Amino acid sequence: MLEVGCACVAHSGMGSGHHSHHGHHHHPVRGSGNMAFGVAVALNLAFVVAETVAGLISGSIALIADAGHNLSDVLSLLLAWGASALAKRPPSDRFTYGMKSSSILAAIANAALLWVAIGAILVETIRRLADPAPVASTAMIVVAATGILVNAASALLFAGGRKADLNLRAAFVHLMADAAVSAAVVVAGVLIAFSGLAWIDPVTSLLVTVVIAWSGWGLMRDSLRMGMLGVPEGIDLGEVRRFLEALPNVEHVHDLHVWPMSTTETALTAHLTMSEMPANDAFLHDLAHELEHRFRIGHPTLQIERGHQVCALQRDSAI
């Protein structure tokens, strides 16, 4: 579930108290349910077993390489599934945000797992390039064609939620890449059937590895940025600042921070120096709505200060 529209505000200054307002709106992320994960894991696990057996029987390193990548996808789906379940656990005295950040840890683990799979595939591919072996092209074509259907069908389960959740995006990208890789293996099988050239198989495996690495680089970069609490993709911090500075009576914005609470939720904290304090919580309510609507920031926390005061965090090194 995606939680948005939660905000609280603190008024600092002589004679002013602390006022807060919270409004929670939950928007379900399509494709993130247990059924989607369960079906995708079952389909891909069955295919990994079939593809590995077919690769060993046919002698195709391209099939074995694709099976290794599919196995990493199964493990990544299990990690994302577990993180999704943990993220729904309520906050506690020890974990005051709940376990939402487990989804970020899962994204980092998935990215690392992908590169481990790439390394293993590359080692075997180089060995086969040096010593090409005969390949049963018919088995390659049949199994890889089945892989196109399995991976494309699995990817569609996560298509609806891929823009809102990095873990779902990872699942979608991995599975669509697998479908494309399977298509390449089909082409390689056809070429081997007509030409009899065994080296086409390891060369195809090498191309598969390059495609996997290319698709995995962006996921690694984005997951590490989230792990370092960087501003989430798609949010321009300068634009957020300009929006806050343009609010009525706001003279200055400082100590502005935007970071991911999970792969689906973004938090913001900021100090607003205002010439006049808000008369009621309508200011906060409207601001929370605009931050969620404009920037998909669903958990803002704002401290409002009087214009004549100097905040301890208002210094040159503060953002």
Q: How far is CA 199 from the centre of its chain?
A: 36
Which DSSP string do the residues of 123-143 spell out, in sequence order? HHHHHHHHS-----HHHHHHH
Distance set, CA 98 to CA 95, 126, 261 (Å): 5, 46, 10
**pLDDT for 1:** 27
Per-residue pLDDT of the chain (319 residues; tens, 9 = 90+): 223 334 454 444 433 333 334 444 444 444 446 787 888 888 889 988 888 888 888 777 767 777 776 787 788 788 878 887 887 888 888 888 888 888 888 888 878 877 877 787 787 778 777 877 677 778 778 888 888 898 888 888 877 765 667 777 777 777 777 787 778 778 888 888 888 887 887 888 788 778 778 777 877 888 888 889 899 888 999 999 999 999 999 999 999 999 998 888 899 999 999 988 887 788 889 999 999 999 999 899 999 888 655 565 555 455 5
**pLDDT for 126:** 82
pTM over 0.95: no
Please list the residues that pair with 22 across neighbouring strands.
6
SS (H, E, C) 18-61: CCEEEEEEEECCCCCCHHHHHHHHHHHHHHHHHHHHHHHHHCCH
**Residue 256 in contact with residue 313, Cβ under 8 Å?**
no
Residue 32 has phi, psi (to 5 degrees) of: -105, 5
Q: How far is CA 308 from the centre of its chain?
A: 43
Q: How many residues does the chain have?
A: 319
**pLDDT for 319:** 59
Nearest to 208 by CA among 42, 72, 47, 45: 72
Nearest to 51 by CA among 139, 133, 143: 143
